[in-house]
Structure formats: structure tokens, C-alpha cells
Chain A
Amino acid sequence: MSASTEKEKPSVSRTAVRRPSFQPNTRLGSSSRRSFSLERGSKVLHKSIIQSPKPAVRVFDEESNDVTPLPLCQANPGAAQTTASILFKDRVSADSASDQTTATESFSVPLSRSLLDSSRISSQSSLWLMNEEMEETSSKWNISSSFPDDRGKTEATKEEMEHMHKETKEFFLTETDNISLLNIPSTFLPLDADHPKASKKTRSKDKYVDGSSQTLHGTSKNKHVQSDGLFLVDAGIGVSTSIMYDDTELEERQDKPEPKPISVDFTLVDSDDGGSALSPLRSAERSMSTGSMTTAVSVSSSLKDIEICENTHKPDVELIRLSKKFQHSLLVVEKTILQSLLQPQLAVYRQLPSLKDWIVELEREEQRDAEISETPALEGLWAFSCELTRGFSVSSMAWNKKNPDLLAVGYGEFDSTNQRAGLVCCWSLKNPTWPERVVRCESAVTSLDFSATRPSHLAVGLFNGSIAIYDIQNTDSISLFLDSSKCPSRHLGPVWQLRWNQQEFGLPAEERLEVLISVGADGRIIKWVVCTGNLGHTELMKLKRTIYKNPDAKITESISQSLISSLIPALCLDFHPSEPGIYLTGTWEGLIHKCSCSNNQQYLDTYRKHYCAVNYVAWCPLSDDIFLSCSADCTIQLWTQNQHNPMLSFSTTRKVVHDIKWSPKWATVFAAVYDEQLEVWDLNLSCLSPVIVQPAPPGVRLASLLFASHTDCVVVGDSCGQVTVYHLRNLGVGGSKQVNILHDLLHSAASSTLKP
């Protein structure tokens, strides 16, 4: 409706102009506030208005008075004609509060202009004045029509008016109420609207009234309360990744004990009943007053803490003492101290350059001057000894197969008169003052060997003939792995030599079975196999007394048959480095037998030269077929496998050779231990005399010898329980060369011996 009126509005003005001519009976709807409508009566007015500008038109009343209404404005007829239209339009435009009217305004303006084109400009002001008047009386007029501008149409109206002249009519002008046909309030507000609520009020249905009330305040009462001092503690923590990690770790474990809260919880007691404005001030005051208190309190609390700490000292000490970690830490500290103390010696051992150490610098300076020489020399480094081992005699030594820094030393007294308990100490290079492991044995230890497949197993042969295997891995549980003391076929005499050997060379290393071969004073060589929890044994050989028939001798021994075939104690054993199952044993008689593991009845070969007990037999590790033997007849013999006579023999002093060992590095170097001295021979340099002779410390007899595998050092055990480490300097050249030299030597020796 409104749209139609909107559109019709410009047209209304036009049609209003025309309507009286064409459509006199139409009704108009308007959506403006100021509604106006056409009435039938209005058309009469139109006519009157139409008539009014014409002077020919006259209105007479009953008394024939000329009551022709005077024209409102003295404008031109053309202008007068347009007045109504203009007025109409202006009325239309007077509806200020409607957009539609404004729209029509826009429309009407050009129209009015077009209409006013004909009118004079001077009449405009009067027209506007008339507009104002007309606005007031617009309702009265109810003119929705205006007069056409067209001349043609005026002619038509003239005709109508002529018709009308003939009739006298009475006009009654009444005001009608505003009839609003449609009233849609707009939803838009102008920007300068004063009160948005005002508009809202008109629309909202809530009915409320602003009112004021007065709250009654009761009378306030002041009350003082004294509270205990407040402890204010600042606690802060700097967060770092480690702390975050710690906390998340502990949360995960969920067994974190509740940490004692450092801060004391405090609550502000506000005892004011009312007067909220006062309380903050009070609390501030209180905190200020207690601030000074807290410092004093904290001091006292800290004192208390100290007291508490002191009380807890004692359980702390005990706890710390008992903890293993502490023990371990102490050992580590000890080792580090010793390492720094012995750094030069250890460096020499390891063939590393020694650091300038302030502790021993003074001592070293003295020694440095003395030892600048090119000749082979022996340098004493340090000695493994401790009070535990004092009084014992070193009987045997063995390096650990896996950890070459670990040395097992067996101690025992060999005076057959009193058999004391034996001792096995495992020394580490890191700590020469205290052994890593200490094992006490029931009788004197005579032989030792570390297993190769299970590096923590140490086989110990005892004086009473039993063999024990210890597992020395853990400090606190050195368990006796196996013991042959209850085995019926154990050795009846001291076990002079023990050897772990890997049988079945055909198989790869992991599958080889490792067996323990023991040589006892009862003349038996027994092979022990470690079964599950047991020692299974087989006899490898029984060393029987052999009857030596000297082919050159003219007298045959006739009493041979009456001799009791008894077993001869064997003193040593050595396996061939490369050939499986072949081994040498040296006997009490002075014979060396070459035997095979597969044949336990006969010897493969026998070597005779010594006429006293053979103390040690050693294959050359770098060259096959060559072995050395030493015996109580104070000689050392060098043999080749094929020859029944020794190639070379060495003898220096009239003392028993206790031990002899090949150097693992140089094929021509070997060392021998006598009662009073250590001799190092280098066949390259001299076949007749040892290269190095190191006398034993006074009062001490040397007992055992061992070469260190990775370095140029020699370990010597003596009769007072000390194991001394010597360093060999300037000895020998490369290994392979040495072997050749050795072979050459032997060839020459052989040729010389063959010569009659």
C-alpha cells in the first residue's frame, strides 16, 4: 500500500491535478502521517478553487450575497492553479517524519519546479507563506488534488464548471478527524535522537518507574582484636629444565613424599563487622606491624632449624656410612688420588707421555738425570703390596684374559712344615695399595688361572690338592663356584699347575668347550669339565716312572722290573699355542714329556736333559716348535720340538731357577727368576749372558714372574708378598724380525751341535 502510494505520490500530485477531471470519485490511500484523503466533498472544493481564480465565478448565498471566496493569493491564474498543487505537494512535503514523504519530496521538488516554471519567481515566497498557512488548515482543505497545468485540461474543467454554474450549491466545511489507515512506525532513528530509550519506551512493553530508596546504615562499632604475628615468607624458585624434568619424573612415579612446606600459612583475621572501607586500612596496618615481627621470627626459626639439623647429624652419618654409594665413591676417590700420585709410573706403564705433576715432580727430577742411556734397562715402577699380603710368599700370578689391568696373585707359604691359609688377591692397576678382591683359601695357593670364556672365573689350585673356581665379579659375593675338595678323584698332592684350555679347535670360538687341566703332585693330569654345577673330570695322563735305557750305556739296568711303578709328580704344563691337544709337562725327574690329549697312555715324546725337577716349561708364543725349560739344576734349556737335545742352554748362577717366561712381544727375549735376581735375556744381543740382571731387594727371594701382555713390563713376585712391576726399556726390535733372528740362531746352533 505504501509502495503504491509512494509511487503514486508523484503521480498523485499529477493525478491529483488531473483527477478531478478524469476520476472524480477515486479514493486515495496514504501512508503518511498526515493523512489526507480525497473526499467527495473535496472535489467540490476543487471546483471552487478552480473557480476561485476566475473572476467570472461567483458564489451567492441565500441572500444573494456575493460570498465568492476571495482568492488567498493574488497570484496569476497559472500560478494560482498551481498553488493547490504546490500546496498539496508542500503538504506532502510537510510530513517531515516520513521517508516516503521525503521520497516524494524528492519527487515533488522537480515536479514543483516544473510547475513553478511557469509561475513567477516572485510568487514563490508568497506561495511558501501560503504553504505555512495551508499546513494549518490542511485538514480543512483535504485537497489531494491539484490543478492541471495543461491548458487543454483547463478547458475541460471550464466546461465542467460551466455545468456547475447553473446549480447553486451549499458547501459546508467541516473538519474530519485524522483517519490513519496504516501506521507502521519506522525502525530507524535519526543520529541526533536524544534518548534511545525514549524510542524504546514507546516500543517496549515493560512498565517501570524510576524510584529511589535509602538504605539504612546501622551505627558502627569499633572493636579491637589482637592476633598472633603473621609470618610472611617469600618463596620463589627459578625454573630450569632440570627442575621441570625432576618434577615430571616424580609425578610419574607418584611416590613422592610431600615436601615440608617452607612457608607458614597465615590468614588475615578481619574482625571488623562492618565498615568495609576501614578494613583494608587495618589489614595494611597489621601487616606492616607484623612485617617487623616476621624478621625476628624468621631468625629464630632459622636457629631452630640449625638445632634440628644438628640433631639429625648422627643418623645421617650412619646412613652415609652404610650406603654403598658412599663406599664406592670412597674407592673412586682413592683411585684418583693414587692415579695422580703414580701418574708418571702409570704413564710409563701405559707408554704414554707423563704429565708434569706437582706432587712428584721433585722426585722425578732426581731420577731423570740418572736414566738416560741406550742400553736395555729395567726400571722399577711400583709394587703391589698391602698389609694383608705381608708375610706371604707369592706363588703364582695370572693376568685376567679380558681385562689386562687385572692381576690375580696367589699367596702361600711353601714350607711344608706349616701350612697356612692361602690368599688370593686381585689387584687392579688403578690401586696398587689395596687389592680389589681378596679371597681367603683354606690352604696355600699354588696355582692360578683366569678363564678365557668366563673372564670372571678364577681357578685356584691349592696345596691340599683341591681346586676351587671363584667368581670374582661382585665385591661382596665372591662365590665359590666349584670345588673339587669333595671329589673322590681329586689330586692328592698340591696342584702345581692349572690351565684353562679350549678344546676342539675345529669349532668356532664360542662353541669351544673350555676345560681345566690340572697337574698335581700325585702324577696325574686331570681334565676337569665344568658341567652344570659340577666338575666332571677325566684323567688325561698318568705320569709313570719311565725307565731310561741309555742306548750308549753298556750296563742295562736289571732292576727295572722291580721298581714300583709309581707316578711321578709333574710340576708344570704348557699347551702348544697352535696345535690342539699337544702339551708339554715337566716332571720331578727332570724329564719333559710331550703328550697328546687324545692319548692318555703314552707320551708322544720325551726330552731329557735336566737332571733335577723341571720347574717350568714354556712354548715360545711367537714361534712354533721352540720351547724353554727351566729346572732346579740351575739351567735353562732351549729346545726345538724335533730335537731331543736342547739347542741352547743358559746358566749363570748356581741357583734354582724358579720361573721362566717368554716375552710376548719379542721372540728373542725371555726372563728368568732366580732366588736372588731377575735376569732378562736377549738372544739377539747375547747368548751367553743375560742382558739385564736385576738383583732382588735384600732379604727377599724372588718367586714368580710374569710378563705384561700389552706393555713392556714385567711383574715379579717375591717372598714377602710384594709384587713389583718393572719396566723394560730399550729392549729388542720388532717381533717378526726377532723370530727370524731366533730361527737363524737356532740354525746356527743346530749346525754347531751337529758338528762332531
Chain B
Amino acid sequence: MADVEETLKRIQSQKGVQGVIIVNSEGIPIKTTLDNTSTVQYAGLIQQLVLMARSTVRELDPQNDLTFLRVRSKKNEIMIYLT
């Protein structure tokens, strides 16, 4: 348990990290380091993207599943890890 907190802190303190959002299976953010509006916005948008990506992977091979998704843009990069 303590490791999780520590790891989170370390991630947060890395250079270049803007924020960390933890979302539960229903898509509702449960922990965040950003402000509320951004969190909600991110969570909602990412949820759809993840659903689409996941269904794509599973369509191709039902035994496969999506684990990590990185969205790189001109200004930012969003890393989405799925458990």
C-alpha cells in the first residue's frame, strides 16, 4: 500500500508530468492531481477512446486485450495504462 503512494508521488514529481488521474472501471475518476473540470473532461474523453481501442483489439483477437495506450500530440503526451 505504501509503495503505491510512494510510486504515485515519484511519478508526480518527475519532470514533465502534468498530472495523474486514476479512474475506476466505470470511468469515474477516483483520484486526481489536476483540477476538477479538467479531470472530468479527461476522464470522459479518455473513456471513449479506451473503449474504442479496446474493442478494436478484441475484435481482431478475442483473447487479446489492451494494456497500454499512449497518445502523443504536438504539445503533450497522454499515457493510459489499463489494468
Contacts and interface: CB of A to CB of B under 8 A. Distances in A.
Interface in B31-81: 31, 55, 58-59, 62-63, 68, 70, 77, 79, 81
Given A240-B55, A434-B10, A245 B63 contact: yes
Contact of A337 (B3, B17, B26): B17
Interface in A24-66: none
Interface string B4-46: 1101101100111100001010101011000000000000000
Given A241-B59, A341-B16, A309 B26 contact: yes
A332 interface: yes
A303 to B, nearest CB: 15
B1 A322 contact: yes
A264 interface: no
A605 interface: no
A207 B83 CA distance: 81
Contacts of B24: 313, 316, 320
A327 B59 contact: no
A718 to B, nearest CB: 23
A205 interface: no
Given A320-B24, A333-B81, A240 B59 contact: yes
A340 interface: yes
Given A241-B58, A241-B62, A330 B8 contact: yes
Contacts, number: 77
Contacts of B26: 309
Contacts of A329: 81-83
Contact of B83 (A242, A316, A325, A336): A325
Contacts of A327: 3-4, 7
Contacts of B81: 329-330, 332-333
A331 B79 CA distance: 13
Contact of B30 (A317, A323, A325, A328): A317
A245 B62 contact: yes
A260 to B, nearest CB: 13
Contacts of B11: 330, 333-334, 337
- Tell me the dominant secondary structure on chain A's binding face: helix
B58 A240 contact: yes
Contact of A330 (B1, B4, B28, B59): B4
Interface in A79-104: none
Nearest to A334: B11
A244 B59 CA distance: 10
Contacts of A245: 58, 62-63
Interface in A239-271: 240-242, 244-246
Contacts of A332: 68, 81
Interface residues of B, number: 30
B83 A334 contact: no
A651 interface: no
A242 B55 contact: yes
Contacts of B7: 327, 330-331, 334, 434
A338 interface: yes
A326 B83 contact: yes
A694 interface: no
Interface string A327-358: 11111111011101100000000000000000
B15 A341 contact: yes
Contacts of B83: 323, 325-326, 328-329
Contacts of A246: 62
Nearest to B26: A309
Contacts of B5: 321
A314 to B, nearest CB: 9
A359 interface: yes
A469 B79 CA distance: 38
Contact of B59 (A242, A322, A326, A328): A242
B4 A317 contact: no
A320 B62 contact: no
Given A313-B28, A330-B11, A337 B58 contact: no
Contacts of A328: 83
B30 A320 contact: yes
A334 B68 contact: no
Given A327-B3, A329-B83, A242 B58 contact: yes
B10 A321 contact: no
Contacts of A244: 62
A334 B15 CA distance: 11
Contacts of A434: 7, 10
A724 interface: no
Given A241-B59, A340-B16, 16 more contacts: A242-B59, A242-B62, A245-B58, A309-B28, A317-B30, A317-B31, A320-B30, A326-B4, A329-B81, A333-B81, A334-B10, A337-B17, A338-B14, A341-B14, A433-B14, A434-B10
15 contacts: A246-B62, A309-B28, A316-B24, A320-B22, A320-B30, A327-B3, A329-B81, A330-B8, A333-B11, A334-B10, A337-B79, A341-B16, A359-B16, A433-B10, A434-B7
Nearest 7 CB-CB pairings of A with B: A245-B62, A242-B58, A325-B83, A329-B81, A330-B7, A316-B24, A359-B16
